[in-house]
Amino acid sequence: MGHRHPRRPLTIWNYTPECELAKAWDEYTSLARGLITDRDGRVHSRPFPKFFNLNSNEQSRLENLPAEPPRIYEKVDGTLGILYWDGDLPCIATRGSFESPLALWASRWLQAKVNREGLSLRAGFTYLFEIIHPMNRILVDYGSRRELVLLAVIELETGTEQDPIAEAQRLGFSHPQVSAKSLTEVIAQVDSLGPKEEGFVAVYNNGLRVKIKGRKYLSPARRRGVCSRYNVWKCLSGGGDFRDYLAAVPDEFYAWLGETRNSLEDEYLKIERSVSEAFGRVSQRPDRRTKAQMVQSDFGPVAPAVFALLDGKDPVPYMWRLIRPSTNFDEAAI
């Protein structure tokens, strides 16, 4: 899916939630993770290809990883920010948008830092950041922390990565902590991480990245506020775009969220059929009084939706209300 810049001849490409749910990964969809091109298809900004949790697919299976020891970095729990240029002005896009609230805030933050400190960003390279901001809390609570954390510096022409730690230190950016532990040690340690730690990223010389996330991060108790049946219902019943909801959620939760959406939509369709059948029956009554008597006596919980149809009102809110989850906490989540 492509989104055009409002002023510049640039397009940002992002895989869809449907791609994630169907696991439809190939050489093209894997690159569509915030890739920015100009109108002629030339690469303007080159982010990471899609990468996966350890053992979640063939590429990330432990036995299939390169034999070399990887570099191990702290996994920061924010949103990917991709550097692009609006003329001479450095700007940040999020994975699918040039003008999301978070992208606009990150652009202002970066521009202020560059101007204040006289920084010189290297031409011909894409800088990738993790955006940390209270408005964008995923699961780890960073409090009032607001900044861009430098993750990588990638050469546009070759895709070769430079040393992000050296560049972060040169420019005065925060960067993920580097672990001196081996991959085996990190895997053994990850489930003992605290509530302010997401996990690790293993990076290999060929550019392959693998996420190693802790059980506490992925536990149902941590997910409740982000991934609950109630939140899915709230999105659907409010007419929201489910893709926008998924965009703010870690992709580890997509499968459960997709199943939950399908379940709620199935329940809604059953209610809709019941309301339609009821309205068809009541419409045969000769006057409003007898219609109202029939609705009240025969149709139970769907009566408010049937009355809405009789009054020329929208029955949809009444139908969604019938399947509203009773709580915002769902122990069955993943």
Over residues 87-103, the pLDDT tens digits come to 999 999 998 889 888 99
Helix (H, G, I), strand (E, B) or coil at 292: helix
Q: Which of 121, 150, 145 is nearest to 134 (CA)?
A: 145
pLDDT, tens digit, 9 for 90 and up, residues 141-193: 888 999 999 999 999 999 999 999 999 999 999 999 999 999 999 999 888 88
* Distance in angstroms (rounded) separating the CA atoms of residues 35 and 46: 5
Q: Is 285 left (phi over 0), alpha (psi -120 to 50) or beta?
A: beta
Residue 27 near residue 57 (C-beta atoms within 8 A)? no
Looking at residue 136, what is its pLDDT? Answer: 78
Region 200-217: mean pLDDT is: 88
- Give the dihedral sign, CA 232/238/242/248: negative
Residue 10 near residue 99 (C-beta atoms within 8 A)? no
* Distance in angstroms (rounded) separating the CA atoms of residues 166 and 186: 23
- Length of the chain equals 334
CB atoms within 10 A of CB 227: 23
Find residue 212's DSSP bridge partners: 200
* Distance in angstroms (rounded) separating the CA atoms of residues 98 and 13: 11
pLDDT, tens digit, 9 for 90 and up, residues 216-266: 776 654 555 567 888 889 889 998 878 777 766 777 777 788 888 899 999
The residue behind tokens 């509203």 is: 324
Reply yes or no on whether the pLDDT at 304 is more than 80: yes
Task: Return the structure tokens found at 183.
Answer: 């991959």
Q: Order across the sheet with 71-75: list the strands.
A: 52-53, 209-213, 199-203, 71-75, 178-179
Q: Which of 23, 22, 25, 2 is nearest to 12 (CA)?
A: 2
Residue 219 near residue 89 (C-beta atoms within 8 A)? no
Terminal Cα distance for the chain, rounded? 27
Looking at residue 334, what is its pLDDT? Answer: 37
Q: pTM (2 decimals)?
A: 0.75
Q: Does domain 2-218 have CATH number 3.30.470.30?
A: yes
Contacts of 312 (CB under 8 A, 6+ apart): none
Looking at residue 224, what is its pLDDT? Answer: 57
| Largest interatomic CA distance in the chain | 82
Looking at residue 247, what is its pLDDT? Answer: 66
* Distance in angstroms (rounded) separating the CA atoms of residues 290 and 215: 59
* Distance in angstroms (rounded) separating the CA atoms of residues 284 and 282: 5
Domain positions in the chain: 2-218, 229-321
Task: Return the structure tokens found at 178.
Answer: 């580097």
Reply yes or no on whether the pLDDT at 128 is more than 80: yes
Task: Return the structure tokens found at 206.
Answer: 């060929």
* Distance in angstroms (rounded) separating the CA atoms of residues 280 and 258: 33
Looking at residue 223, what is its pLDDT? Answer: 58
